[in-house]
Amino acid sequence: MSRLPICTLTGVDEKTDRGHLRELMCEFPIAEFGVLWSDTRAGHGCYPSKRFIDNFTWRFRADPIALHVCGGAVERLARGDEDIVTIARRCPRVQINAILDAVALWKDRVEAILDLLPRQEVILQHNASNQAFIAGFPERLRLAALFDRSGGRGLLPEAWPTSFQNRACGYAGGLGPDNLERELPRIAAAADPRQFWIDMESSLRTNDVFDLDKCRKALEIASKWAGENP
The confidence score (pLDDT) of residue 228 equals 52
Residue 76 confidence (pLDDT) above 50: yes
Instruction: Kindly state the percentage of the chain with pLDDT values over 70.
Output: 90
Rounded Cα distance, 137 and 125, in Å: 14
Q: Is the pTM of this model over 0.85?
A: yes
Q: Decide: helix, strand or coil at residue 120.
A: coil
- Identify the CA nearest to 125 among candidates 138, 105, 110, 141: 110
Assess contact for 230 and 6: CB atoms under 8 A. Answer: no
Q: Decide: helix, strand or coil at residue 125.
A: strand
Residue 98 vs residue 51, higher pLDDT: 51
- Identify the CA nearest to 171 among candidates 152, 200, 198: 198
Q: Decide: helix, strand or coil at residue 184.
A: helix
Rounded Cα distance, 57 and 223, in Å: 25
Domain over 6-225 is classified CATH 3.20.20.70: yes
Rounded Cα distance, 6 and 195, in Å: 10
The ranges assigned to domains in the chain are 6-225
The confidence score (pLDDT) of residue 1 equals 47
Rounded Cα distance, 81 and 145, in Å: 24
Give 92-123 pLDDT, tens digit per residue: 999 998 766 656 677 888 889 999 999 999 99
Asked, as a colleague might, if the bond just before 5 is cis with ω within 30 of 0, I would say: no
CB proximity list for 216: less than 8 A, separation 6 or greater = 24
Asked, as a colleague might, if the bond just before 193 is cis with ω within 30 of 0, I would say: yes
Residue 230 confidence (pLDDT) above 60: no
Mean pLDDT of the chain: 90
Give residue 130's pLDDT band: very low, low, confident or very high (50, 70, 90).
confident
Report, as an integer, the average pLDDT of 56-60: 98
Assess contact for 53 and 79: CB atoms under 8 A. Answer: no
Radius of gyration for the alpha carbons in the chain, expressed in angstroms and rounded? 16
48 phi, psi to nearest 5 deg: -70, 170
Residue 229 confidence (pLDDT) above 70: no
Residue 153 confidence (pLDDT) above 60: yes
